[in-house]
Chain A
Amino acid sequence: MAKITHAEGNLRIDDKERVTELMARIVDGDEAAFFMLVGEFDSRVAYNVRQIVTDMGRRDILADEDEMSGLVTEAWLVIRERAGGWSPDGAMPWRWAHLAIRHRVSEAIGHRTTPLMEDDGVEEAAWSPTGDDEEALILTRLRCGDPRLALMLTTLKANLSERDYLIVVEYLQQQSFGDPSPSHTVGRLYGVKPDNVRQIYHRARKRMRKLVADDPELESLRGFWWLAA
């Protein structure tokens, strides 16, 4: 049955409680809890992996049940490996480990960049990921089909300290995962207080608005969703 969902927003409270309980037991050494977690939530991880493979344009893999089974299994291994770093305050484990899962999937299938999916009628943006793999993955995940986002992030990177840039991008990413408290998640990752995370994030937006207003070369960013008041 279809559900109304916003990222993980449709998860029941008891789902989160159950995941929290099982993750704690896994970290505590009860490996049987890992099989319980898999048994109860595998459909969600499978969905996420299918989304990743779809984003990569690999319909050949999507159609191969054995391949998909292997990728979903790898995703679970990623979650198990990182269980000790997960916090119940953030996104669900399969969302929290999204980048790592995506990286494992791309390694497994030899991800290629496909300019167009053949018959979906969606034109690929002019920009495609290059350079540092980690950042490329973040940019791909946040892209939302809008090429202006790449320009925005490039401009941010040129105008912020490295730490502030990473904090802003991470904040955006956690928001996109439906994290109810991205400032806390990001704060934990970077050893920064949540208030400071919010300050860095809003200062970056303010700075971008000024840059966009003053620089004709950034005209295409005027009205961009991230800069709207």
Chain B
Amino acid sequence: MRAVGSVEVDQTESDVDLTFLCLRMAEGFRHRGAAHPVAAAVALAARGTTGLDRAAFAERFGRKEDGVEAVEAGAVAFEELPGEVGDLLEASGRFDLLQLADLDRAFRRTPVDAVVDLHVEGIWIQGRLAGMAACVGVPARL
């Protein structure tokens, strides 16, 4: 524990791998049956870089809100994503678009059943102790 009044910096430089976060999100979408899971994750990441909610994002880029929603739901293929998605991710400098494109290709070639990664999807509830959560979901199929 740090003493009250201690002087220290409680932040450090950002370390997170945003591409990996995107990949994990895409895996989840895939298991939930999204047609284009990587595209969905990428679109969400792109809007995330702007800080805008869906309506404001649509207005900013001259889109219809339900169009943005459809893209984020995985209804649009990776190669057909609106240009602003790629532009935003490139501008952030924190996403590896090639790796994401590779994953999209891999997902399209490989049926869900054959994916050998175990990713538990479910609802997390507060467990017995703070920070300990219990998953009441169903394990993804191998």
- Chain A interface (Cβ < 8 Å from any Cβ of B): 1-7, 9-10, 25, 30-36, 38-40, 42-47, 49-50, 65, 68-73, 76-77, 81-85, 90-91, 96-103, 134, 138, 144, 166, 170, 173-174, 176-177, 185, 188-189
* Contact call A84/B125, Cβ cutoff below 8 A: yes
Q: Which of A2, A31, A47, A176 contacts B25 (CB 8 A)?
A: A31
- Give A72 to B48 CA distance when docked, in angstroms: 18
Q: B109: CB under 8 A from chain A?
A: no
Q: Of all chain A residues, which has the CB nearest B29?
A: A31
A123 to chain B minimum Cβ distance, whole angstroms, is 19
Residues on A with C-beta less than 8 A from B1 are 7, 144, 176
Interface size on B, residues (CB 8 A): 43
* Contact call B124/A35, Cβ cutoff below 8 A: no
A36 to chain B minimum Cβ distance, whole angstroms, is 5
* Contact call A84/B124, Cβ cutoff below 8 A: yes
Give B59-90 as 1s and 0s: 1 = Cβ < 8 Å from A's Cβ atoms: 00000000000001000000000000000000
- Give A57 to B133 CA distance when docked, in angstroms: 26
Q: B129: CB under 8 A from chain A?
A: yes
Q: B116: CB under 8 A from chain A?
A: no
Q: Of all chain B residues, which has the CB nearest A33?
A: B48
Residues on B with C-beta less than 8 A from A188 are 126
* Contact call A73/B20, Cβ cutoff below 8 A: yes
Q: Of all chain A residues, which has the CB nearest B3?
A: A6
* Contact call A189/B126, Cβ cutoff below 8 A: yes
Q: List 15 A-B contacts (CB under 8 A).
A: A3-B8, A5-B2, A31-B41, A31-B44, A32-B44, A32-B47, A34-B25, A44-B10, A46-B13, A46-B16, A50-B12, A65-B15, A69-B15, A99-B129, A177-B130
Give B26-65 as 1s and 0s: 1 = Cβ < 8 Å from A's Cβ atoms: 0000000000000001001101110101100000000000
Q: B91: CB under 8 A from chain A?
A: no
- Chain B interface (Cβ < 8 Å from any Cβ of A): 1-18, 20-21, 24-25, 41, 44-45, 47-49, 51, 53-54, 72, 123-126, 128-133, 135
A63 to chain B minimum Cβ distance, whole angstroms, is 13
- Give A43 to B14 CA distance when docked, in angstroms: 5
Q: Of all chain A residues, which has the CB nearest B11?
A: A43
Residues on A with C-beta less than 8 A from B4 are 6, 9
* Contact call B7/A43, Cβ cutoff below 8 A: no
- Give A103 to B130 CA distance when docked, in angstroms: 12
- Give A34 to B25 CA distance when docked, in angstroms: 10
A184 to chain B minimum Cβ distance, whole angstroms, is 12
User: A31-B44, A34-B48, A82-B124 given as contacts; is B131 within 8 A of A102 (CB)?
Assistant: yes
User: A4-B6, A35-B44, A38-B21 given as contacts; is B126 within 8 A of A72 (CB)?
Assistant: no
- Give A166 to B14 CA distance when docked, in angstroms: 35
B56 to chain A minimum Cβ distance, whole angstroms, is 11
Q: Which of B12, B41, B128 contacts A189 (CB 8 A)?
A: B128
- Give A180 to B43 CA distance when docked, in angstroms: 37
Top 10 A-B pairs ranked by shortest CB distance? A35-B48, A99-B131, A43-B11, A85-B126, A72-B15, A100-B131, A32-B47, A42-B14, A32-B48, A32-B44
Residues on A with C-beta less than 8 A from B133 are 81-82, 85, 97, 100
* Contact call A36/B48, Cβ cutoff below 8 A: yes
Residues on B with C-beta less than 8 A from A102 are 131
B129 to chain A minimum Cβ distance, whole angstroms, is 6
